[in-house]
Structure 1
Amino acid sequence: MEVLLENSKSKTGKHVLRSLLFRVESNGIIQQVDLAGKKITPTYKVGEAKIVNIPSKGVYIYLFLLRNLKGRVNGRVIVFDNGNVSLVMKYRKLKLKLVDGDEKYVNSIKKVFEQLKIPVKKINVNKEK
């Protein structure tokens, strides 16, 4: 599975895009992973981007965050379990909302947000209808 790891911003600094990859160990420890990959041009002018292959073994959390002109942060959280997408959540208005998948990874996502000091006001695990 290929994902985009990017850290870029616009020339004016009003738009910022950041994507991160974390690995969940079997004992519950969550560490940020920096894998080697193919460099590509970033979305915004200032910064860097690369495409990385996620190993098929293990649980990985992919975080994609975008800060817009008004300073609001929107994003997606995707959990890969043994190469398959197990959980998709969206982050908007300081809330995490379950889009699709298994709820058992929500605690790991909560730990990632605490580790990065990203504020979360509410977590909704009810599936959208």
Structure 2
Amino acid sequence: MHIAISFKTSMFDVSKENKNPVNPIYGESLIKWLKQELDSEFEITEPDAEDWGWYSYITWNNRQYMIGASTYFEEGDDPSSELEWVFQIDKTRSLKEKLLGREKISTADDCVLFFKSKFEAQLDINSVAFE
């Protein structure tokens, strides 16, 4: 299970992103921005492509989370226009935690609340909501 946060912004120029070799979905610019913003506080891996967008791993309070981003943009669209983004957070759990139903991610998870408040604090990001 993962948590998804949606928002709208024109902060990121997706036309300058590396091409996603798996599927033509954008999201790398958001992950890179978060890495740049948070690298001094948290260990975040370099972004990588997946069929649904782009992702990295972050170490948060000695736990690993996968963070992912995607947005829809087609060739010919205005790269400076406001796009709708989906940001996903998935908590890595051990097999034992999964079997016992422990450490499940929720909208009350500190890591989830941190990212939601990070987006809400940005003047150029609006309509922040849980999916």
Q: Which has a greater percent of helix?
A: 2
Q: Which has a greater percent of strand?
A: 1
TM-score by length of 2: 0.36
TM-score by length of 1: 0.36
Greater relative CO (CA pairs within 8 A, separation 6+): 2
